[in-house]
Amino acid sequence: MSWTCHGKTNKDMVAKLHEYGILQSKVAADAMIQIDRADYVLDRRSAYIDSPQPIGYNATISAPHMHAYCLDYLSDYLKPGNRVLDVGSGSGYLAAVFAIMVGETGRTVGVEHISQLVDRSIESIKKGPAAHLLDKGALSIHVGDGKKGFPDEAPYDAIHVGAAASVPEALVNQLKPGGRIVIPVVDSLMIIDKNADGTLKQKSVMDVRYVPLV
């Protein structure tokens, strides 16, 4: 695990994540460069430090290297025009990066249960280049219980879960055949792929420490 990807600027931080091999996808790196992490943290001075940061309400924005790993595992599922769900969207940072990747012909949905975080995440997104995607309805963030997913916009090509104790069945049901879920379960980051016939293939890709969904 790398805790050394601190950068002086957003671009510098992303370059280090790429250099250390954590962020291999060029498309994901380009999207991360566009979304300035400083707009999503409470203290802009610590925006480019490679660690989680408090965002209030007992929540944190995940560390840049965790965002990078998740983006890398999902990058093939975040093609322009695809549909993506971010469960426990918190700061809104990843939802904004997803939205840049799937674009205006795609659909990005965030679900977060703390309404104040939803409001703040929308304000953060409005400061950057994903703002027009909010206006066009290609990106939306909703208050709700993420364990239920967001059936109105399902099925999804990609589902990211920011925190979990188990795999919610609703999320599996809302995944397209051929789609992928990236989800921390207890202390490991899991990838769940849905095969064309609807069966699932699961693997644990690394040990992690996340706060579980409540």
Catalytic residues: 62
Q: Spell out where the chain has E strands.
A: 53-56, 59-61, 83-87, 107-112, 139-143, 156-161, 175-185, 188-194, 200-207
Q: Which of positions 114-153 make contact with ligand SAH (CB under 6 A)? A: 114, 117, 145-147
**Residue 91 or 174 with smaller CB distance to ligand SAH:** 91
- DSSP symbol at 163: S
Q: Which residue from 23, 29, 49, 94 is in contact with ligand SAH, where contact means CB under 6 A? A: 94
Least Cβ distance, residue 42 to ligand SAH (angstroms): 12
CA distances from 91 to 44, 103, 114, 134 (A): 13, 20, 11, 15
Residue pair 46/38 in contact (Cβ under 8 Å)? The answer is: no
**Under the criterion CB under 6 A, does residue 99 sit at the interface with ligand SAH?**
no
Least Cβ distance, residue 75 to ligand SAH (angstroms): 17
Q: At 29, list the tokens.
A: 């790196």
From the list 14-22, 59-67, 75-83, 126-134, the region that binds ligand SAH by CB under 6 A is 59-67
CA distance 191 to 169: 15
Please give the residue ranges that form the binding site for ligand SAH (CB under 6 A).
Answer: 59-62, 88-91, 93-94, 111-114, 117, 145-147, 162-163, 213-214
